[in-house]
Structure 1
Amino acid sequence: MSTEDAVIDLDTPRDESVGPTGSRGRRTARPWLVAGLVAAFAAGTVLGGWGVDRSREARARQERDATVTLVAIPAGVDSGGVNSGGRARIEGSLAVVNAGPSPITLRSVRAESPTVLIQDLGRTRLIRPGGTGWIGVVALFQCGDAVGPEPLSMRFSVQTADGQVREARYPVALVGSVWLDRLSGMCEPR
């Protein structure tokens, strides 16, 4: 074997006429292909992270818009009277505070017990977060029957910021309210 055959110069292209060298020829990746793959991976990572972040924000916004938190108290008396059957009718207002994080539209109010019936006058009211809305209601009480000391569970039909109609409940204390003050004067025998 001559010394020329034993030395391989890597800077010169291989002469194909010499024949195979015993191992298969390797192809090296072109630099632009590697750069393209790295760029695609980086873009995918950035877009994936952005998409996950947006998904979390949307989920949090959806949960926030679906939240209903109310506080309600009897707020005023407009008029009242007693019918011949011994039922007292009070038209008044109910103060409803939106303690939730999003605006709500109060659609209806109703409460019922054996001695009391309360329902709204059919008007809707938009209440901003932290705001108070006064809702006109009619309260019917049976004269002679005592109103229990426990709060009356009121049902509120509410349209939330996400457009869904939900039901919320809140216990409203009637004892010590302006409604019972008026009722005591109305139901006294004359």
Structure 2
Amino acid sequence: MAVEQVVIDLDEHDHESAERSAITHRNVANRRKVLLQLVAAFVIGVVLGGIGVAELRDSRAQHDRSSVVALVALPESGYSGGSNSRGIVRLNGQLTLINTGPAPITIRAIQAERPGVQVRDMGQARLIRPGGTGQILVDLQLECSTAFQPEPLSVRFSVETEDKRLREARYPVALVGSAWQEDALRMCEPRLDS
């Protein structure tokens, strides 16, 4: 019996298994690439979202800051004439306003009323910077017998804030002991030369 010789050709390669290996290797590389792209997209999204939230927070803080109205009002002598008719004194006075808020405000109107007292602005608007002061002329009508009660007069202000919105603010103004009281009482005293 003749022995068959088995010859193994070492130059021949298994082309099919090499192709499968290359495809598998490419698929793994593609999966890694896609995974890295997804992770990068997620990280970019988180960063942009964080920046967006910070911007929104800053915008809200700016809006809150620009809508605050905080002021102090003090009656000042601005006596520039007046009249006394049957115990009711009409005179012009000044109201000094101090802006204690964080943003500029524009005073558009001033009004106060209670029995014996009426206060109205004279139609002038006044811009007051933060920490600044401004004077506004007002028309006063005071009844000599009832105007000067111990409780403060609640003065209403129509104020335009930095965000261009009109807001109402109130501030209690003490009339007793004020320059307005001094000016009015001089006019309320009965005249001896009549």
TM category, shorter: 0.7 to 0.9
User: Percent same amino acid among aligned pairs?
Assistant: 51
Map of 1:179 onto structure 2:
180
Q: In the alignment, residue 80 of structure 1 is paired with which amino acid?
A: G
Give secondary structure in 2 for the equivalent of 1:63: helix
Q: In the alignment, residue 36 of structure 1 is paired with which amino acid?
A: Q
Q: How far apart in 2 are the matches of 1:32 and 1:103?
A: 55
Q: How far apart in 1 are the matches of 2:48 and 2:172?
A: 48
**Native 8 Å contact 2:115 2:147 kept in 1:** no
Map of 1:40 onto structure 2:
41
The 5 Å alignment of 1:23-172 reads: 27-28=27-28, 30=30, 31-172=32-173
Q: How far apart in 2 are the matches of 1:128 and 1:94?
A: 16
Structure having the higher helix fraction is 2
Q: How far apart in 2 are the matches of 1:14 and 1:43?
A: 36
**Native 8 Å contact 1:82 1:187 kept in 2:** no
Q: How far apart in 2 are the matches of 1:136 and 1:127?
A: 15
* Residues 145 and 80 of structure 1, relative CA distance in 2, 3 Å threshold: farther
Q: How far apart in 2 are the matches of 1:69 and 1:60?
A: 17
Q: In the alignment, residue 113 of structure 1 is paired with which amino acid?
A: R
TM-score normalised by the chain length of structure 1: 0.83
Q: Deviations over 1:110-136 (max 9, x none)?
A: 000101000111000000000001001
Q: How far apart in 2 are the matches of 1:175 and 1:29?
A: 87
Shift of 1:105: 0.5
Q: In the alignment, residue 140 of structure 1 is paired with which amino acid?
A: Q
Shift of 1:81: 2.6
Q: Any stretches of 5+ residues in structure 1 without a counterpart?
A: 1-10, 16-26
Map of 1:22 onto structure 2:
none
Q: How far apart in 2 are the matches of 1:37 and 1:14?
A: 27
**Native 8 Å contact 2:108 2:125 kept in 1:** yes
**Native 8 Å contact 1:90 1:179 kept in 2:** no
**Native 8 Å contact 1:71 1:97 kept in 2:** yes
Shift of 1:146: 4.8
Q: Deviations over 1:89-120 (max 9, x none)?
A: 12011000111000001000000010100011
Q: Any stretches of 5+ residues in structure 2 without a counterpart?
A: 1-16, 22-26
